[in-house]
Chains A and B, each alone.
Chain A
Amino acid sequence: MLQVKNLNKSFGQMQAVSNESFTVNDGEILGLIGQNGAGKTTTFRMILGLLKPDAGSVFWNGHPFTRKDQDIVGFLPEERGLYLKMTVEEQVVYFAELRGQKPAVTKQKLDDWMQRFAVKGKRTDKIKDLSKGNQQKVQLIATLIHEPKLVILDEPFSSLDPVNASLLEDGIERLKSQGSAIIFSSHDMGNVEKISDKLLMLRQGETVLNGVTNEIRESFGDTRIFIQSPLTAEELLAIDGVLSVKKYQNGFELKLANPEVGKAVFAAATKDGYIREFSQQPPTLDEIFRMKAGVSHE
């Protein structure tokens, strides 16, 4: 279990992270979201001990997280880097050895991992001869092959195509089921919504959202309706409490003043019986993200 308590870090005049706290339990995935410069990488670096926080502390299973705990970490930095002249095997073996896994063990596991991530290439291939996507996968294997208890992935989905992104999702889910505590950052809400149990959103170093993913959405109330009915946009907008109507696929997306308005919309839409879709939901994470990213915290 990773506990982060009241982390603060500033660079000169700029407050990079302020008063940040969160907990990631074993077998739990935390999605860290925020725009560029929100403090995601700084947060990771403080957890890893690469940066010293101005204040606050990081705990692992109740004790302060130190260099001694570094073997249980799997870290994928935002900027990827591999030794281009090494072979896939040498590279993975070296990184795993740095995390305390014996070369023989790594070599034994490597084929399985390469298969799981569908790496196109042999273990004797030089890294520089692999395609960018395959290099990325090798980097992921090098991050995860020692089965870390704490996994930190900085923008793991960036520049992955949907097929590979889902391979990565599988990989993360697998570690989760093995009981690893996982933190990853992303600016793609799709991935975050799909796999994270918890969510932390940063905006210029301030925590603007923090909690269980579903609860965060629920807290905004069921103020969105996706509807496909005989009603026109004008008719929908005329209902009291409907703030806006937007075209959405074959129907409309409505914003409501409060969840109660939903009942009136439902009654109006179903007055002639069957309708194809009526779904009342809280705002999507994407919407919350854009809402929060635009609004000042004060």
Chain B
Amino acid sequence: MNKFWVVCKQVIRKNIKSPSYIVLLLMPILLLGFMFGLAAIRTHTNETPQIAIISNSAPFRTALVKNKSKDYVVKRAVDTSKKAEKALSREKLDGYLTITLTGKQVSAVYKSRTNGNSLDTTSLKNTLNSLKMQQTAAQLGLTSKQLTQLFTPASFKTQSVSYTNGKERAQKNNQQDINSILAMVVTILIYIFMVSYASLIAQEVATEKGSRIMEILVSSVAPQIQFFAKITGMFALILLQVVITAICGLLGMKYLSGNIQFLKDIDLSQIQPNFVIILGLFFILGITLYTILAAGLGALVSRADQVSQAVSPLTIIGLVAYGASFVAMNSNTFLIKLGSFVPFVSQSIMPVRYAIGNASTMDAVISLVVLAVTIVLVTWFTTRLYTKHVLDYSDKKIWKRIFKRNS
């Protein structure tokens, strides 16, 4: 047990100092910084546009100018098209709106500089419409109450449901959105973590084998102990990464939610704990499965430069699963259903199916159990593989070695 920790500590110590791990660790921070920068650039470059309003109807213009909006600033001094053209050409204005009243018709033209700050015309349109309505209503002699009645829209709500064993299961639309966003985020994270750590541990094992340090290690510590110690060390590194990623993620949500629309829609209080637990379990078990198998594959190669070749089948499967998670977003075919229970791909597909309500909690739990059982079997198999091949430097093909009976 003592040596278990010696090896485990060594794995952690060595990797924490290695540039490749530090880059991996800093990735979320860099990403966050990048998003901050992007947001900063956006707010900086798109200032509130300065516009002018010109109209042949003075009351109409006054009413519009008085109406304050956060989408634009009106320059009151500019009140003729001549002045407006001049201001526009000197880049004093970003654009101007010309409103023409002909009888009962109101027409408006917004002319803007292509290199100016862009205007979201929605609120301007709305103001214009309501002004026109008020004017028409006044002309028709309608009271404001009548006007309100006239324009109250029919009530329209969306409700989405899913069926579990024939029973209807209501789900708030917003809830489902959050779940799918969470599922997508977790799927991406699973993929990134899987690929990064699978190659990291395979590299670790293969380097020791290739540099012949393995002989000393194996003669000092039983290969099984060494194997589990390495994996434990790797998990400690993953945990550190998860913590850092989570901190970055939460900080990012806090500071960026004002700037990024998609984050604004997420209401953290809407997240259901049991959903998070299931996502978390898929995350942990999915990465565990890949990491363990990758360690075994690393032990099969003779030199460190063969690692990517050995690990590639694993990363390809991971990529396919990741791709399938996008398909699962919109379809629920037999293949997707099946995939959500098959280990090696289920960790990416099931969270998505579960999030959008295509799979029940029971389905998710069954898939998790299958995954857990697979991990136990793979661990047993891989430990044997590791013990047997860690000192085997023959040039036999990797796949032949896996199925070699005895050595």
Contacts and interface: CB of A to CB of B under 8 A. Distances in A.
Contact of A79 (B208, B212, B220): B212
B213 A81 contact: yes
A98 B211 contact: no
Contacts of B212: 77, 79-81
A77 B6 contact: no
B132 to A, nearest CB: 75
A70 B220 CA distance: 6
A95 B208 CA distance: 13
B216 A48 contact: no
Interface in A48-85: 48-50, 67, 70, 73, 75, 77, 79-85
A292 interface: no
B213 A82 contact: yes
Interface string B9-53: 010001001100000000000000000000000000000000000
Given A50-B391, A98-B3, A77 B216 contact: yes
Contacts of A80: 212
A143 B215 CA distance: 12
A230 B211 CA distance: 58
B215 A95 contact: no
A83 B214 CA distance: 11
Given A50-B391, A67-B222, A98-B7, A75 B216 contact: yes
A117 interface: no
B124 interface: no
A50 B220 contact: no
A77 B215 contact: yes
A266 interface: no
A46 to B, nearest CB: 12
Q: How large is the interface on A (under 10, 10 to 19, 20 to 34, 35 or more residues)?
A: 20 to 34
A117 B221 CA distance: 27
Contacts of B391: 45, 50
B221 A83 contact: no
Contacts of A11: 407
A50 B218 contact: yes
A48 B17 CA distance: 32
B109 to A, nearest CB: 69
A95 B407 CA distance: 27
Nearest to A84: B211
Interface size class of B (residues with CB under 8 A): 20 to 34
Contact of A48 (B6, B7, B219): B219
B217 interface: yes
Contacts of A169: none
A75 B219 contact: yes
A15 to B, nearest CB: 15
Contacts of A77: 212, 215-216, 219
A97 interface: yes
A70 B212 CA distance: 18
A142 B222 CA distance: 19
A94 interface: yes
Contacts of B7: 98
Nearest to B212: A81
Contacts of A82: 211, 213
Contacts of A81: 208, 211-216
A99 interface: yes
A86 B2 CA distance: 22
Interface string B190-233: 00000000000000000010011111111111100000000000
Contact of A50 (B18, B211, B215): B215
Contacts of A95: 216, 220
A151 to B, nearest CB: 12
Given A48-B219, A70-B219, A75-B219, A98 B6 contact: yes
A97 B6 contact: yes
Interface string A134-155: 0000000011000000000000
A250 B33 CA distance: 83
B224 to A, nearest CB: 10
Contacts of B2: 100
Given A45-B391, A50-B391, A98 B213 contact: no
A98 B220 contact: yes
A142 B220 CA distance: 12
| Residue with the highest number of chain B CB atoms closer than 10 Å, among A45, A49, A75, A97 | A97
Contacts of A48: 219
Contacts of B218: 50
A100 B4 CA distance: 11
A138 to B, nearest CB: 12
20 contacts: A45-B391, A48-B219, A70-B221, A75-B219, A77-B216, A79-B212, A79-B215, A81-B208, A81-B214, A81-B216, A83-B213, A84-B211, A85-B18, A94-B6, A95-B220, A98-B3, A98-B217, A99-B220, A100-B2, A143-B216
Interface of A: 11, 45, 48-50, 67, 70, 73, 75, 77, 79-86, 94-95, 97-100, 142-143
The 5 A-B residue pairs with the shortest CB-CB distance in the complex, in nearest-first order = A81-B212, A98-B220, A81-B213, A79-B212, A77-B215
Given A50-B218, A98-B216, 6 more contacts: A11-B407, A73-B220, A77-B215, A79-B215, A94-B6, A98-B220
